[in-house]
């Protein structure tokens, strides 16, 4: 109990605003890495997932790739990419690793959102003379949006947790306090940094839970 109190005291100390790595700057770095990685992953995964969900082709390959990407150890991937790209390209190496880890959840959310739609709804759109492009944008994308937002939500939480280890390659973020505190045996600092990461993850999860609920079409929500 004393350790938790010490961690909270460290976390809310005025020194966190004035030390060499202030807490607001660490939050900003953590969020910047997270949202940039998720945005890049979304640009890659959403069109691919919608293409798979709309056509029904490549679903097995997508599932296999998603499962394989989730099994990749994030810390090992970052270190491997740093060794391949060189220490002067540590931000690029870390960002590639974060994007790779974010793609599976977004890809799964994109194609399962379309795959879960009742085929009779799509057949009705075709019977009305809608083109495949109109079916995608006017029927499939709106109905599949809640699951897509759920996939983005999972990706954000995974990347938030993974960005913590970016401090191992000296990229800052909230993990800096944890990595710095371990060799110094400052367990209050380590726990304080972990609590900051957990608080950020909970806030983001709550925000995306609201967005996921708001993404449901009104007709579906009414039913």
The contacts of residue 55 (CB under 8 Å, 6+ apart) are none
Of 109, 130, 114, 89, the residue nearest 211 (C-alpha): 109
pLDDT of residue 15: 80
130-162 pLDDT, tens digit per residue, is 888 888 888 888 889 999 999 999 999 999 998
CATH of the domain at 165: 1.10.3720.10
The more confident residue out of 169 and 153 is 153
**Which residue range forms the structural domain that includes residue 65?**
2-222
Torsion over CA: 133, 44, 114, 217 (sign): negative
Domains: count for the chain: 1
pLDDT of residue 155: 94
pLDDT at 87 exceeding the cut of 80: no
Read off the tokens for 194: 């972990």
The more confident residue out of 42 and 57 is 42
What is the pLDDT of the chain when averaged over all its residues? 85
Q: What is the pTM of this model?
A: 0.88
């Amino acid at each position: 109990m004393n350790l938790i109190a010490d961690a909270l005291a460290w976390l809310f100390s005025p020194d966190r605003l004035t030390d060499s790595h202030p807490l607001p700057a660490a939050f900003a770095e953590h969020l910047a890495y997270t949202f940039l990685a998720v945005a890049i992953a979304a640009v890659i995964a959403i069109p691919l997932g919608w293409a798979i969900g709309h056509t029904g082709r490549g679903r097995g390959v997508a599932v296999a790739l998603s499962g394989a990407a989730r099994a990749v150890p994030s810390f090992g991937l970052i270190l491997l990419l740093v060794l391949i790209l060189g220490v002067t390209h540590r931000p690029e190496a870390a960002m590639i690793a974060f994007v790779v880890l974010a793609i599976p959840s977004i890809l799964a959310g994109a194609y399962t959102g379309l795959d879960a739609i009742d085929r009779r709804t799509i057949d009705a759109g075709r019977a009305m003379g809608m083109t495949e492009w109109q079916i995608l944008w006017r029927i499939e994308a709106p109905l599949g949006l809640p699951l897509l937002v759920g996939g983005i939500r999972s990706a954000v939480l995974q990347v938030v947790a993974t960005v913590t280890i970016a401090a191992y390659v000296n990229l800052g973020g909230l993990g800096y306090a944890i990595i710095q505190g371990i060799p110094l045996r400052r367990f209050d600092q380590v726990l304080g940094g972990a609590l900051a990461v957990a608080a950020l993850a909970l806030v983001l999860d709550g925000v995306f839970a609201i967005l996921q609920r708001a993404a449901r079409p009104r007709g579906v929500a009414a039913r």
